[in-house]
Each structure stands twice: as structure tokens, then as C-alpha cells.
């Protein structure tokens, strides 16, 4: 009798501990990991692949999103199993997980082992004998290595709790760890910060990332329908491009040089970039990324076409912005920031960030005349002229006669502008993680009031 009563009470307590549906609680509770590829925050600003998708789904079901941060993949899955959240994002799909249902996968990535470039590669699984390999507890890589371990010479698998992929990569980069297991997406991002990392071994197996919901959740069908819809209408591709589309542009050597210059050159000009932010409202790190792409932070830079200085201004642009000396870094940085802000202001109001910023950066390279011409081409091809994802496929057409001969602006180097913007996105990503924001709460790329002339 007592045992029956005890079991009944436990069932009541378990039921009470499960979260209310969003239509009753008024909020959608989403579990995420603070992983570099999917979810990040800086100075109170939250961004990332998972963040944007969760916010869209919240709007779809009419609920405000509340994020719960899991410290490792095992904790992420546990939150779903115990019904503590409505769903977990970017979780590795597994078969036969009791109490959990997975949606259609959103992304997939190859699994791999990562080493320092100064250590020998692994040509075959048998070469792992005697090595120590770190992996996150509950990760698909840990599961894969546990299976591999029974068929190879002994290696030591070290499972790390309450960590993320970058913690592991940093340990390899500093030579404190021999090797780590991760996936290709996280490795590609990490190379922008740790260029001495290299692939030790690439597994044939891929990992598929999906959403996970508790078994019996009334949200599952809504989540499945939402994901299928955004895959079909291109929304998912645009969000994917926003966070991953620029990763393959900059070489390892370029990143290594950039990291050195952040420590040795940038400090001389940091105050000038921050002053330009105060004048324009544009994040100083974005302006620094633009300047690095333009001149490698060389205030005396000059191109064969006549553009000069830190921000590589033309003579006409410098005159309009009342720059008396293009080789003066302070004048150049401030003017370059004002010019970019002017370009953002000229774009139609319906273009939102970050597309507004990427399109303005392309216009910085091309000129607004060519940008407007490319937008005309986009409309003719039934592509969205307000989307960077669409426009970076249209801009290279400015070099083809069948397109540019119908434009007042004529031929343009649109492909060069695309590469420039994608490089700046990478440099900005690195600077955003390595350098502190300055009054970030005041930044708004969509609104800009031009400062008074100097």
C-alpha cells in the first residue's frame, strides 16, 4: 500500500516538474548550447543560427522565446528527456532515445579529429594507438570514438563536461591537448582563430543536427511543418548563409597574419576606430575589419587606380567628406565610416540588418550606381534585391555584357565586391570574439543620423 502510494506521488511530482505548453505558459522555452557555430552572445546581444530560428518559430506559434543554456551535449538532451524545455536545438540525431522525438535534420557535418599542425597526421584508424583524444560528453564524436575504440589499438578517450568546442580547440592550439574530436563546421570556424589547427583524421560518418522535442509534445507537428516550410521557401538557406556563408573565403595564412596584426598594429588605431563609431553608430570592429580588407591597416596604402589611405578613399569621396589628407589615418577612418553610413542611409528602408550592412559594404567597393544597377538585374531575374544571400549571386553578373550593357552604370566588378564583403564578414567575426564592444547597446545599423561637417 505504501509502495503504491509512493509510486503515485512520484508520478504526480514528475508530472508537475514538466513544463507547461507554450499556449498555457505564454513562452516557448528552448534549450541551446552556447556553441560557436550555433548560439553566441556578446555584451548582452544574442545572435546565432539557433537564436534566429528559435525567434522565428516563436513568432510562428505566437509565444515569446526564453532560452535555457545547456553546458554540454549531454545536458542538452537531458533537458528534453525530463521535459524541462519545449525543444532543444542543434542536437545530434540518435536512434531510439527514450522519451525524445527528432525533427527533420537542418544541418549535417562530417566528424573529424583535430590536431596541431606540428604533430603527425593520422593516416588510418590504427594510428590512434597510444594517443589521448578529448571529446565533449554526450557528443556524437564521443559515441563514435567509443565504438571505434573496440576495434583499434588502445587510445585514451577523455570526456569533457561543461565545455564547448572552442575550449577543446584552444587546448590543442596551445599544445595542452594532443587531439580533439569535433565536426567540420566547428573546425572551419575555429580556423579563423586558431590557424595552426589541422585535420588529423576525417571520418566517413556524418552527424545530423535537428530539433528534439519530448515524446508526446503537441508542438512536434508544428515544429516539423515550420522546418519544412522554411526549407522550401529559402528562409533556412538565408539564415545558414548569414552565419556560415563566409567561412571558406580567407586562407589560413591570411588569418594567421590578421591575428598577428590585431596584437601589433590595431592598438595604434583602436581609439580612431572607436571615435568613428561615436560619429556614425557603426561598430568600431566592423570599421576595423573594413579597413583591414582595404589596406591591411596601412595608412599609406595606395592602389594603381588612385584610391589611398587606411580606408582607400577616392579623391572625389575624400573631397566630399572634407578630408584634407587621405594618408592621415584619423581622417581616413572617420571619413570611411561616414561614407559607409551614408551608403547604408541610401539603401531602401525595407532592407534590414545584417543585409543592409553587407549590401552597403558591397556599394563601398562598387559605388551605389552599380549597386542600384545590380538591384535592377535582380528584379529582372525574380531574385530578392534586399537580400545579401540573393545579391551575392547577382553582383558577378555586372561583368557580363548581356547584363551591364542595359545599365547606366556600365560594367562593374561585382564578383570582387562579393569577395570583399565575405572577407570582411570573416574579419569582423574574429574581431567580435577577440575585441570588446564599445557601448554596443547604442549601435543600430538601420538608423543613422549624419554628423555635422568637421
Q: Rounded distance, CA 212 to CA 323, Å?
A: 56
Burial environment of residue 232 by CB neighbours within 10 A (0 to 12, 13 to 18, 19 or more) = exposed
Query: Which among 75, 294, 390, 422 is annotated as catalytic?
Result: 294
Q: Per-residue b/e over 205-220, b at no fewer than 16 CB within 10 Å?
A: eebbbbbbbbeebebb
DSSP labels, 246-286: TTTSS-HHHHHHHHHHHHHTHHHHHHHHHHHHHHH-S-HHH
266-280 vs 284-295: helix crossing angle, rounded to 10:
120
The pairing of strands 197-214 and 87-92 is antiparallel
Cell readout for 39 is: 548560439
The alpha helices in 131-183, defined as continuous H runs, are 140-148, 165-173
Query: Dmax of the chain from CA atoms?
Result: 92
Q: Tell me which residue has cell 519545449.
A: 86
Whether 294 is catalytic is yes
372 HSE (CA, 13 A, CB side): 11
Q: Per-residue b/e over 244-262, b at no fewer than 16 CB within 10 Å?
A: ebbbebbeeebbeebbeeb
Q: Tell me which residue has cell 579563423.
A: 192
Burial environment of residue 416 by CB neighbours within 10 A (0 to 12, 13 to 18, 19 or more) = middle
Q: Rounded distance, CA 16 to CA 403, Å?
A: 64
Active-site residues: which are they? 294
Amino acid at each position: 500500500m505504501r509502495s503504491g502510494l509512493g509510486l503515485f506521488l512520484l508520478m504526480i511530482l514528475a508530472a508537475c516538474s514538466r513544463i507547461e505548453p507554450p499556449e498555457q505558459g505564454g513562452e516557448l522555452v528552448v534549450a541551446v548550447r552556447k556553441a560557436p557555430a550555433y548560439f553566441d552572445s556578446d555584451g548582452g546581444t544574442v545572435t546565432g543560427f539557433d537564436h534566429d530560428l528559435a525567434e522565428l518559430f516563436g513568432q510562428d506559434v505566437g509565444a515569446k522565446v526564453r532560452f535555457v543554456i545547456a553546458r554540454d551535449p549531454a545536458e542538452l538532451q537531458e533537458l528534453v528527456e525530463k521535459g524541462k524545455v519545449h525543444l532543444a536545438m542543434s542536437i545530434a540525431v540518435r536512434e531510439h532515445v527514450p522519451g525524445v522525438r527528432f525533427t527533420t535534420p537542418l544541418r549535417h557535418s562530417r566528424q573529424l579529429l583535430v590536431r596541431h599542425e606540428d604533430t603527425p597526421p593520422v593516416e588510418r584508424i590504427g594510428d590512434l594507438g597510444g594517443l589521448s583524444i578529448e571529446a565533449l560528453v554526450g557528443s556524437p564524436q564521443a559515441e563514435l570514438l567509443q565504438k571505434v575504440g573496440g576495434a583499434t589499438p588502445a587510445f585514451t578517450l577523455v570526456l569533457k563536461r561543461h565545455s564547448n568546442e572552442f575550449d577543446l580547440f584552444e587546448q590543442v592550439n596551445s599544445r595542452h591537448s594532443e587531439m580533439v574530436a569535433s565536426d567540420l563546421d566547428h573546425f572551419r570556424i575555429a580556423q579563423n582563430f586558431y590557424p595552426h589547427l589541422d585535420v588529423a583524421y576525417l571520418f566517413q560518418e556524418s552527424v545530423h543536427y535537428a530539433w528534439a522535442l519530448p515524446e508526446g509534445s503537441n508542438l512536434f507537428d508544428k515544429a516539423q511543418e515550420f522546418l519544412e516550410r522554411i526549407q522550401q521557401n529559402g528562409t533556412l538557406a538565408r539564415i545558414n548563409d548569414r552565419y556560415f556563408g563566409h567561412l571558406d573565403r580567407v586562407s589560413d595564412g591570411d588569418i594567421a597574419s590578421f591575428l598577428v596584426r590585431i596584437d601589433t598594429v590595431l592598438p595604434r588605431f583602436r581609439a580612431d576606430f572607436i571615435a568613428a563609431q561615436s560619429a556614425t553608430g557603426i561598430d568600431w570592429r566592423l570599421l576595423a575589419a573594413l579597413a583591414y580588407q582595404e589596406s591591411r591597416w596601412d595608412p599609406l596604402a595606395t592602389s594603381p587606380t588612385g584610391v589611398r589611405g587606411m580606408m582607400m578613399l577616392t579623391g572625389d569621396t575624400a573631397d566630399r567628406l572634407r578630408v584634407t589628407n587621405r594618408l592621415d589615418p584619423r581622417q581616413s577612418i572617420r571619413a570611411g565610416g561616414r561614407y559607409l553610413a551614408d551608403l547604408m542611409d541610401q539603401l531602401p528602408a525595407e532592407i534590414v540588418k545584417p543585409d543592409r550592412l553587407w549590401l552597403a559594404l558591397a556599394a563601398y567597393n562598387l559605388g551605389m550606381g552599380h549597386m542600384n544597377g545590380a538591384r535592377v538585374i535582380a528584379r529582372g531575374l525574380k531574385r530578392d534585391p534586399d537580400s545579401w544571400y540573393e545579391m551575392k549571386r547577382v553582383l558577378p553578373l555586372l561583368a557580363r555584357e548581356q547584363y551591364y550593357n542595359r545599365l547606366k552604370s556600365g560594367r562593374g566588378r561585382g564578383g570582387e565586391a562579393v569577395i570583399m564583403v565575405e572577407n570582411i564578414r570573416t574579419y569582423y567575426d574574429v574581431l567580435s570574439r577577440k575585441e570588446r564592444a564599445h557601448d554596443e547597446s547604442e549601435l543600430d545599423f538601420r538608423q543613422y543620423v549624419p554628423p555635422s561637417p568637421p
